[in-house]
A and B are shown apart, each in its own frame.
Chain A
Amino acid sequence: MSLSLVQYLIRRLFQLALVIVIAVSVNFVIPRLLPGDPVATALARLQTAGTGDTMDIEAVSASYRARYGLDQPLWNQYLNYWSDLFRFDLGVSFSNFPEKVTTMVGAALPWSVGLLMTATLLSFAVGSLMGARLAWPGGGRLIRALVPGMMVLSAIPFYLLAIIMVYIFAVELRWLPPAGGVETTRIMRLDWATSVDVLRHAVLPCLSIALGSIGFWALGMRSQMVSVLGEDYITFAEAKGLSPGRIFFRYGIRNAFLPQITALALNLSAVVSGAVLVEVIFNYPGLGSLLYVAIRGQDYFVIQGVVLVLIVTLAVAMFIVDLIYPLLDPRIRR
């Protein structure tokens, strides 16, 4: 490993750490700037939703605040917050007391990761390939016909696309389930039927996110490919008599790919925020649904936990993308 590569890695690691420290600190401060006492508010909501019975909200709130150190000075709370984070403790949900936020996030995270990973990689791979083929001399008619449609889809917000897809594929055609992570009566077992059911329920949410992005990736890749195809090394490869397939993949796509990777890193946050509403529409049991209800219920500690996990996940994803760079571009390794 060259010195420059080591320096590159250290620089990126430092950036990752800095992003996480800032995110954690902002995440700590913002809920505390909001008006009112979140604990008392959560308790009052419970009271309003249930019996309408009298409750000494101030006494219960004071007891919870003392139990969880929320009555301590802000600086102490900040240190405790960091210390809790190192133990993967994100606090408790006051709307669902005594449930730990870590438990709630832990249950929702795999659903979102599975959905977003599949949707992002699918749209990225399909869109980039379509874009490359579009720029390639003699690119297929089918692709030329498809790309404008994909561009239209990319102008539609994910959640709107989700509603349209539910209507067509779940309500009218009834090919796919309309909502949820599994059938309501499905017994969750580690078996083939459950696996297929989980995937069937993921198809529409996944396509809502993926279809809206394919056009974006296709257009980006096409413009990169067009400029790459004019490069001398492509002419040289052709002059050497290399096969068109080899030129397409090894010389064309590989060189046109770098800006796409950068765009992928930048686009991840948009995908994550768009997916929140998609999950709500599909009643999909991921972080988006959790965040939506936590915001509506003013459950600050859940909001804080979900946002933190999203920020850290995005930062790590971008870090991984950064690590892929040297593999694709030898100039960075030098």
Chain B
Amino acid sequence: MNRSSLKVSLRAGIAALALVPMAGAAFAQDIADVPREQTLVLTPWGDQPAQFSNVDNWNTYLSSIPKQRDVMQITINEMLFYTNLNTGELIPWQAETYALADDFMSSTITLRDGVTWSDGTPFTSADVKFTLEALRDAPPEIRGAASFNEWVASVDAPDPLTVVINHPKPAPRFVEKFLALGHENHYPILPKHVWEGQDIAEFTNFDPEAGLPMGTGSYRLVSSTTQQMIFDRRDDWWGVTTGFQDAPAPARIVLTPVSSDEAMGQLHIANQVDGGRQLQIGTFEAARFQNPNLASWNAEGPEWGAPDGCVYTLVFNNMVEPYNDPNLRHAVNHAFNRAALAEIAYEGAMPTAKFAFSGYMAEKWAAEGSPLATVLGEAGVDNPSQDLVDERMAAAGFERNADGFWAKDGEVLDFLVRTPAFIQPLLAPMTQQLRNAGFDARQGAVDDTWLPDLLAGNFGTMTFVHCGSLSEPLDTLKDYHSKFAREIGTNIPYSLAGTRYMNPEMDEIIDRLEVITADTDPDSAYMKDIQAAMEIFLRDMPQIHLIEEFHVVTFNNTYWTGWPSAEDPYVAPYTPWEAFNLVVHNLQPAQ
């Protein structure tokens, strides 16, 4: 065999070997290459397989298809408004302003002139009316169906740029929460001329030759395979043609799958990704050692990350004994040393929490000296004390047995500590702190029964997250309304309301708060009711908030700069949130 035929054989062998795995891949022969330095590479948030699924289904509203959260929010779709959660500033986008009726029974939105869909059709009030009414009438598997059914009575479109949303009850927060927050509220407006006549639960919204998926966003889909989703910048984007914004700098956005924290760290080290999935603190620090271009929200640790609006909590099942006794719940609260928990479980990378108020709203509402801070301080929430544990347990009718464990009528309180896998680091230190305080605590198995049990009420206590207030205290307090409670064995409709707490006094206050706007004035009706609700909560302690969740959002400055950070907090730094679209528009090439 001569040299050239050996080379040909070798090449054929390599190609044949490669063809085996490539048999499962889809090909994109006619897509032009774009240099890496002009390409923004992101991954989806959280645990996902190393392959994308539903590559030919781009139904934005099907609950089980997270594409709006993964990538459509920064490419195909845009929102009426965004909010910079760091400052509370409203950032108009497809719309210019909105106004609420005095009785909050309607909201009027004025759309921006010149916004167009990717096929050139004008974006008008007819599209908004079609979308909101379609969601109102949608079957339950459609994202937001229950909420839009609750809050939208009808929608009027008096002219192409004016939308009037009529509510069945006063709705001072509807536009803010559902159409303007820029958070996990994935409700983009749909092109009526595409979706009308389609079954919203069945329509795949995928026909690249016909321009689907269609949005007003600055990118178009050019390839959707199990290995990549590729989007190229649209030169005819309305923002450029109307002079609203410059085109975003990345010529191409690639979404690539990643299945684990370790793999994400490796991809960051190799500069194969620019952002996306969060890293664990250890992985981030190790990856940053190898690649100094990596950065998170804060320039220094150990609190590298940014708040995500959630707090790690201990949920009591307020319907079952002995956890239906406020004295016992208070005793458990005084058994916890939050600072030690944060240090042991998370190496000090997350701050302690007294209540589920996120870092985004804490400064405005619960700063030192404010009425809410005073209420929290007086309640002594974060106050580990064996004396207080003893006092509260005695009031609950418990006394220590010969082994030193709390018992009632001769029966030891069997305290099973349960956590989902994603907050497993808390399991051991929480158990130990409870044992130190005299509770016969034991670690539960970290398995997948926690969620069905939480929903059906088959638990005594459960460690979980409470994603609460981003902009005002009511965001958290509303979750203690008894409308979410169900009898044991029936699933609750909302996982954050796992306490099954029922208190008519609290319901009355929340009902009042829901029909007025938030107001930081200490003398306002809003603030007085919030304080009253907080006092009830702190008296009954249906749930214990422990540590605020900070994710180490990780960005790579090798190819792109301009990522949001504590020094430049122009928007919250989470890729799955709607407002991350602003980040794409802010990035600049580093090379």
Q: Do A and B come from one complex?
A: yes
Contact between A40 and B491, CB atoms less than 8 A apart: yes
Contact between A48 and B451, CB atoms less than 8 A apart: yes
Chain A residues near B448 (CB-CB < 8 A): 41, 298
Contact between A44 and B452, CB atoms less than 8 A apart: yes
Contact between B227 and A51, CB atoms less than 8 A apart: no
Known pairs A63-B139, A104-B53, A195-B15; A289 contacts B259 (CB<8 A): yes
Contact between A181 and B227, CB atoms less than 8 A apart: yes
A46 CB within 8 Å of chain B: yes
> Shortest CB–CB separation between residue A123 and chain B, in angstroms?
16
Measured between alpha carbons, how far is A118 from B27 in the docked complex, in Å? 23
A190: contacting residue among B27, B39, B184, B225, CB under 8 A: B27
Chain A residues near B258 (CB-CB < 8 A): 179-180, 283
Contact between B27 and A49, CB atoms less than 8 A apart: no
Complex interface: stretch among B125-133, B260-268, B321-329: B260-268
Known pairs A40-B452, A110-B23, A192-B11; A54 contacts B51 (CB<8 A): no
Complex interface: stretch among B143-151, B342-350, B358-366, B536-544: B143-151
Complex interface: stretch among B99-107, B114-122, B269-277, B514-522: B269-277
Q: How would residues 3 to 39 of chain B score, 1 for a CB under 8 Å from any chain A CB and 0 otherwise?
A: 0000000010011011111111111110101101001
Chain B residues near A46 (CB-CB < 8 A): 63-64, 66
Measured between alpha carbons, how far is A106 from B62 in the docked complex, in Å? 23
| Contacts of A123-171 to chain B: CB distance below 8 A | 163, 166, 170-171
Contact between B24 and A110, CB atoms less than 8 A apart: yes
The main secondary structure of chain B at its interface with chain A is: loop
B65 CB within 8 Å of chain A: yes
Chain A residues near B63 (CB-CB < 8 A): 43, 46-47, 50, 55, 60, 97
Known pairs A111-B21, A114-B21, A189-B29; A54 contacts B146 (CB<8 A): yes
A216 CB within 8 Å of chain B: no
Known pairs A53-B144, A195-B19, A283-B260; A97 contacts B14 (CB<8 A): no
> Shortest CB–CB separation between residue B264 and chain A, in angstroms?
8
Chain A residues near B495 (CB-CB < 8 A): 44, 47-48, 52
> Shortest CB–CB separation between residue B487 and chain A, in angstroms?
13
Known pairs A47-B63, A96-B65; A180 contacts B53 (CB<8 A): no
Complex interface: stretch among A226-234, A274-282, A312-320, A326-334: A274-282
Chain B residues near A224 (CB-CB < 8 A): none
> Shortest CB–CB separation between residue B198 and chain A, in angstroms?
15
| Interface contact tally, CB-CB below 8 A | 256
> Shortest CB–CB separation between residue A130 and chain B, in angstroms?
22
| Total number of B residues with any Cβ neighbor in A under 8 Å | 84
B144: contacting residue among A51, A108, A174, A187, CB under 8 A: A51
> Shortest CB–CB separation between residue B428 and chain A, in angstroms?
21
Known pairs A60-B140, A189-B27, A198-B22; A55 contacts B50 (CB<8 A): no
Contact between B28 and A51, CB atoms less than 8 A apart: no
Chain A residues near B17 (CB-CB < 8 A): 114, 118, 199
Contact between B256 and A285, CB atoms less than 8 A apart: no
Contact between B143 and A51, CB atoms less than 8 A apart: yes
Contact between A179 and B24, CB atoms less than 8 A apart: no
> Shortest CB–CB separation between residue A89 and chain B, in angstroms?
16
A2 CB within 8 Å of chain B: no
Q: How would residues 168 to 207 of chain A score, 1 for a CB under 8 Å from any chain B CB and 0 otherwise?
A: 0011001001111111111111101011101100100000
| A-B contacts, 13 listed (Cβ < 8 Å) | A40-B452, A44-B451, A49-B46, A50-B63, A51-B186, A58-B490, A63-B141, A96-B64, A98-B54, A104-B51, A184-B273, A283-B257, A284-B50
B-contacting residues of A (Cβ < 8 Å)? 35-37, 40-60, 63-64, 93-99, 103-104, 106-111, 113-115, 117-118, 163, 166, 170-171, 174, 177-190, 192, 194-196, 198-199, 202, 279-286, 289-290, 292-294, 296-298
A-B contact sample (12 more), CB < 8 A, given A108-B49, A181-B21, A186-B228? A43-B64, A44-B495, A51-B144, A94-B64, A108-B51, A166-B266, A185-B39, A188-B26, A195-B15, A198-B22, A199-B14, A290-B50
